Structures are given as structure tokens and as C-alpha cells.
Chains A and B, each alone.
Chain A
Amino acid sequence: AQSVTQPDIHITVSEGASLELRCNYSYGATPYLFWYVQSPGQGLQLLLKYFSGDTLVQGIKGFEAEFKRSQSSFNLRKPSVHWSDAAEYFCAVSGGSYIPTFGRGTSLIVHP
């Protein structure tokens, strides 16, 4: 069975600072990996995905993530955070069933 661990429930950063959100997955083969963002009262929006190829993937809104097979990780990064990035971030993994399994999410708080 596939699973995702997001170890940080909350992350607080100052506006303009860099950001890294952690994600570890469990799956026996090469997974499909995703990061979604959820603003209050909204559905989930896809930030980026990894299917194969280059392990560093670029997404929308200046986000990127790196797939590290040896560490079973897919951490999300952004070099400079904006106040509008405050939201809930979900990592997800899908494998043979192609049905994404989500982590519990990390809440990003941005201080001015």
C-alpha cells in the first residue's frame, strides 16, 4: 500500500524567506508524486507533479520540488515566500492504482 508522511503540521516563515516543506512517501516502485495547495474555503490546486525524468520539477507560482529516490522524499521548495502563499499544502503519491493518496497536510503561515 502507498502512503505519505508530512512531518510538519505547521510551518511559519517570514515574507521573503525561503521555504521547504517535507514529504516522505512509501511505495514499492517508482511513484507518481504531486503537491497540491488548498486556500481557505477552496478545493485543491495542483502545484506540480513528478512522473519520470528530471528529478527536479518546476511548478506554478515559483514552486519546485525534488524527487530523491534514495530518501523516498519529494520536498517542496520556494526561494522567496509571498504573503499570498499562506495556505495548506498537501503531498500525494499514486502508484499502480493511479489513485492519489494524500498526506495530512502542512499549514504554511507567513509573517510580514
Chain B
Amino acid sequence: EAGVAQSPRYKIIEKRQSVAFWCNPISGHATLYWYQQILGQGPKLLIQFQNNGVVDDSQLPKDRFSAERLKGVDSTLKIQPAKLEDSAVYLCASSLRSGGSGANVLTFGAGSRLTVL
């Protein structure tokens, strides 16, 4: 089966500019996650979608970050305006569904590396 697709793989922007990342999950996976991975740290959850609804966005900096998952498939994560501390790898992951044994095994994409100058 095809994996989780993400684009772009790399992006360099100036601070205060905007950027958008795209994710296409594994077909049939109802749950989609965006994680932020800062260099030297583990991934930190930004937002979780179940189909096209938000399950958890408690750690999403909503003053500058937004995400949507139209039609319950693809998702876009946007940052506007970007700050220096947003430099990180943005990982998209998907799973079959949320909850239950065997249901929260995440499959990750390769990530989108953002550098903010």
C-alpha cells in the first residue's frame, strides 16, 4: 500500500512569511495527526483529526498555526506568520481509527523540513 505522502520535503522562508504543508494519508485511515519535531527533540502533537473533525488541537498555537482536513482525506497545515522558533520538521501520520486495541498504530510520512531565517 502507498504510504503517507507529504510535500514539500523542504522549505526555507523568512520570518513573518507564510507556509503551507500538505499531507495525504494512507487510504482508509480515518485519523490524521500533525506532529512538530524540533531538532534534538521527540515529535510533539499539534493536532489530531478524526475524519474531517478535530479531536485534539490543544497544543496548536492557534494565533499562527491552522490546519484543515477537508472531505476527511488530505490535510493542510499552515503557519502565518512564521517565527524563527517554528524551524522544525512537520510530520504527518495516519491511523485506521482513534481508540481501541491496535487502532492507534501510527504510520508516518517522511516529513516536511521548515527553516525560518
- The verdict on B61 contacting chain A, using a C-beta distance below 8 Å, is no
Which A residues touch B109, using CB under 8 A?
Answer: 43
- Known contacts: A43-B4, A105-B41, A105-B42. The answer to whether A98 contacts B110 by CB under 8 A is no
- The verdict on A45 contacting chain B, using a C-beta distance below 8 Å, is yes
Nearest A residue (CB) for B110: A43
- Known contacts: A43-B4, A90-B42, A99-B45. The answer to whether A51 contacts B101 by CB under 8 A is yes
Find out whether the CB atom of A97 lies under 8 angstroms from the CB atom of B56.
yes
- The verdict on B98 contacting chain A, using a C-beta distance below 8 Å, is yes
The one of B101, B105, B111 that contacts A43, using a Cβ cutoff of 8 Å: B111
Find out whether the CB atom of A99 lies under 8 angstroms from the CB atom of B48.
yes
- Known contacts: A43-B4, A46-B105. The answer to whether A104 contacts B41 by CB under 8 A is yes
Which A residues touch B108, using CB under 8 A?
Answer: 36, 43-45
- The verdict on A25 contacting chain B, using a C-beta distance below 8 Å, is no
Which A residues touch B106, using CB under 8 A?
Answer: 44, 46, 100
- Known contacts: A42-B110, A43-B110, A43-B111. The answer to whether A102 contacts B104 by CB under 8 A is no
Cα-based distance from A110 to B44 in the complex (angstroms): 27
Find out whether the CB atom of B33 lies under 8 angstroms from the CB atom of A99.
yes
Instruction: Kindly supply a per-residue 1/0 record for chain A positions 25-52, scoring 1 wherever the CB is within 8 Å of any chain B CB and 0 otherwise.
Output: 0000000101010000111111001011
Cα-based distance from A94 to B100 in the complex (angstroms): 11
The one of B42, B45, B110 that contacts A41, using a Cβ cutoff of 8 Å: B110
Which A residues touch B93, using CB under 8 A?
Answer: 43-44
Cα-based distance from A97 to B103 in the complex (angstroms): 12
Which B residues touch A98, using CB under 8 A?
Answer: 98-100, 103-104
Q: A4-B42, A34-B105, A43-B111 are in contact. List 4 more A-B contacts (CB 8 A).
A: A44-B106, A90-B43, A98-B100, A99-B33
Of all A-B residue pairs in the complex, the 8 with the closest CB atoms, nearest first, are A43-B108, A102-B42, A98-B104, A44-B108, A104-B42, A43-B110, A98-B99, A102-B43
